[in-house]
Amino acid sequence: MAFFAAHFFFVGVVSCRELFWFLSQGRTIFPHSFNSYWAKAEDLGSSILLQNPGAPTTLRKSVTTYVHLAGVESGYGFFAPNVPGTCKLVFELHYPDGRTESRVPGVSSNASGLRVATLLDKIGRPEYDSLREVIIKMLASAVRREHSDATMIRAVFGVVMLPTAEEFQHGVRESSEFLYSYDFDFQPVGPKQPNP
């Protein structure tokens, strides 16, 4: 019975914390003036889960380990509260003879394609700001392995904006919004030059 109480306490707090995070981001049916209160509630959830820096390390790591082992480390807000635009990454391969061609990160199956789409959506989020460049560079290197004569790869990262049903009926189609681009020079091996 203690297991039941403790386990579902964690599940409940993790889920509430995610719910408060959604609310604190705005774009819900609640007024924006409430956002700061939701952010405080989210912080409280983190504190209860011992995720704040002041929590004892051993306890914090024990809780973190348990929720990961049980698969309950994240909430259940699938496609909620809003469905975002889908992120897209296109590589522009430049060859020494002046040719260019476009490639997208390639995988063999639809199931893997769904995982790559998940990755792109993740790195489009602000919390992945610090990792985005590194991940895109790794993806560019994977493309380079298949096109070893390419001397420069420009990675263009953006989000596909979808029209509403009404807009679609009036002829509006999906459009892309540019977010970031990175140039990776492979001749000689040199540092990237970000062009945000």
Partner 1 sequence: MRRIEFWKQRLIGFLFPPESDNWLALLRFGLGLQVILYSLSIRKDWACLLAGKGGLISRNLSETVIALESSLIPRVGWIVALGGHFGLSEESILSIIWYSLVTACCLLLLGLFSRAAAIATWFLHLAAVKSADLFSYGMDNLTTIGLFYLMLSPLPDRRSLDWQRRKSRPQHRDLLGFWRRVLQTQMCLIYFFSGIAKCLGPGWWNGINLWRALTRPPFDLISADTLVRFKYLLPIAGVAVWTLEIGYPFFVWHRRLRRPWLIAVLLMHVGIGITMGMYLFASIMIVLNLAAFGPGILWHQRQVADDGTAARKSLAPSPNN
Interface contacts to partner 1, rule CB under 8 A = 1, 4, 7-8, 11-12, 15-16, 18-19, 22-23, 27-30, 61, 64-65, 68-83, 85-86, 105, 107-119, 122-123, 131, 134-135, 138-139, 142, 145, 160, 162, 164-166, 168-169
Work out how close the CB of 98 gets to partner 1 at its nearest, in angstroms, rounded to a whole number.
28
In terms of CB distance, is 90 or 135 closer to partner 1?
135
Sorted by sequence, the CB contacts under 8 Å of residue 114 that are 6+ apart come out as none
In terms of CB distance, is 97 or 130 closer to partner 1?
130
Work out how close the CB of 194 gets to partner 1 at its nearest, in angstroms, rounded to a whole number.
18
Comparing CA positions, the residue from 179, 167, 193 lying closest to residue 87 is: 179
Comparing CA positions, the residue from 161, 119, 165 lying closest to residue 142 is: 119
Sorted by sequence, the CB contacts under 8 Å of residue 137 that are 6+ apart come out as 155, 182, 184, 192
Other beta carbons within 10 Å of 80: 12
Work out how close the CB of 35 gets to partner 1 at its nearest, in angstroms, rounded to a whole number.
13
Work out how close the CB of 97 gets to partner 1 at its nearest, in angstroms, rounded to a whole number.
27
In terms of CB distance, is 82 or 148 closer to partner 1?
82
Kind plus residue range of the DSSP H or E element containing 132: helix 129-146
In terms of CB distance, is 117 or 185 closer to partner 1?
117
Strand, helix or coil for residue 161: strand
